[in-house]
Amino acid sequence: MSFGHLLFGFTGRVNRAKVWLFSLAAFVAWTVIVVATVSVVATGQGSMIGPSAQGNTQLRMLLESALLPVLLTGVFAIVAFYCCLAVFAKRLHDRNKSAWWLLVFILGPGLVSGLGGALSIRDTDIGTDLGGLCVLIASGIYIWGLVEFYLLPGTAGDNRYGTDPIAGGGR
């Protein structure tokens, strides 16, 4: 499987090792981007402007503001989220599950936690208890997702999504 297909394609299967490596690389890249953005915004960028931007007032204003690094971080976040969807869809395929399960793992905890928060707002014992129960259910969905994506082995041999990535297929 090519690197581009790993990051942007939704077909095929990937094993746990590639998911762990992708997650590590994404974490390192995100950390570098955030640290660089915070450093640039906190220290100001006036000293970083090169001679080519000195005459262009609009470019100079953009570079001196916090807008550019924040926009670049936002674009990176959107691309990284898309790549996460692609990689985790292929991981679900390796587990012989549809990529639609991503909705359960992405939206499920947020919806259940939101319901718990709404229930906890009521100043009653039952509302607080149900809110706590919703938080426990949301935590259970998160843990289930971690186990599915990172710990459980894929199906041995070929399945309806492709050949076994460990056996030498991968697409």
pLDDT of residue 36: 83
Beta bridge partners of 162: 159
Separation between Cα atoms, residue 90 and residue 162, nearest integer Å = 10
Separation between Cα atoms, residue 52 and residue 55, nearest integer Å = 7
**What is residue 160's three-state secondary structure?**
coil
**pLDDT tens, 33-76?**
988 888 777 776 544 545 555 556 666 666 566 677 778 889 99
Separation between Cα atoms, residue 162 and residue 137, nearest integer Å = 33
Ranges of residues in the chain with a pLDDT under 70 are 44-66, 122-127, 168-171
Query: Radius of gyration over alpha carbons of the chain, in Å?
Result: 22
Domain ranges of the chain: 12-94, 96-157
pTM of the model: 0.78
- Give the H/E segment covering residue 137: helix 125-146
Separation between Cα atoms, residue 77 and residue 66, nearest integer Å = 17
